[in-house]
A and B are shown apart, each in its own frame.
Chain A
Amino acid sequence: NAGVTQTPKFQVLKTGQSMTLQCAQDMNHNSMYWYRQDPGMGLRLIYYSASEGTTDKGEVPNGYNVSRLNKREFSLRLESAAPSQTSVYFCASKPGTGNYGYTFGSGTRLTVV
């Protein structure tokens, strides 16, 4: 039982390059989230998917797109990376609507040069 798996763990991009961060959970959770973490700013929500087939913007969606491929997988795409997107990205999931704690993946450390 792996929980939430994120790939890759590390990535260096040049400005303007694109990439997709992958996230998969094996807990049969309905809700999935993408957060970014920057020093001194806590975790900020980029996009979320309350259930399969739906996605919604969070606090900082600009420059990102997401795809809820199926119940297990929720990917985050950077179409044209910028240095301001240098951050640690965390995917998280929870069983569904209601009061549940989130399970986080181990993160992707992205550097844009």
Chain B
Amino acid sequence: GQQVMQIPQYQHVQEGEDFTTYCNSSTTLSNIQWYKQRPGGHPVFLIQLVKSGEVKKQKRLTFQFGEAKKNSSLHITATQTTDVGTYFCAGDFGNEKLTFGTGTRLTIIP
């Protein structure tokens, strides 16, 4: 089946350190989306990447889509306590439904 693998499962960082989570698909994606879920909350849409090699930035967050449209990453520079939560990638294989990765739970050590 169509799967999206995401690593790492957990990441603990000191406040101010950087954080990166990676997603990989075995087949080409139509687009990839990123979501953030705060503890006890629901997923919130962050961004969508559609083009091969696309890079988008939102303040301290940088999102990349691979040249082959099979992998993606989210990088947070200088983490803050407000960044705590689980980050999910979600791949669209062109069939109008998203397949979510298992998520990376980010905890911040003050």
Interface residues of A (CB under 8 A from B): 31, 33, 35, 40-45, 48, 50, 58-59, 90, 92, 97, 99-107
Expressed in whole angstroms, the minimum distance between the Cβ of B44 and any Cβ of chain A is 7
Range class of the B interface residue count: 20 to 34
Contact B92 A104 (CB under 8 A): no
Q: Which residues of A contact B30 (CB under 8 A)?
A: 99
Do A45 and B98 contact each other (CB < 8 Å), given the known contacts A102-B45, A106-B42? yes
Q: Are B102 and A103 in contact (CB under 8 A)?
A: no
Q: Which residues of A contact B88 (CB under 8 A)?
A: 42-43
Docked-complex contact B100 and A44, CB < 8 angstroms: yes
* A42 and B102 in contact, given A99-B31, A103-B45 (Cβ under 8 angstroms): yes
A-side contacts of B33, CB under 8 Å: 101-102
- Shortest beta-carbon distance, A101 to chain B, in Å? 3
What is the number of contacts between chain A and chain B, taking CB atoms within 8 Å?
55
* A43 proximity list for chain B (CB < 8 A): 43, 88, 90, 100
Is B109's CB within 8 Å of the partner chain A? Answer: no
Inter-subunit contact B96/A50 (CB<8 Å): yes
Cβ contact within 8 Å between B100 and A48: no
**Complex: A17 Cα to B100 Cα, angstroms:** 30
- Could you tell me which residues of chain B, from 33 to 57, have a CB within 8 Å of some CB in chain A? 33, 35, 41-45, 47-48, 50
**Which B residues, 13 to 39, have Cβ-Cβ distances below 8 Å to chain A?**
30-31, 33, 35
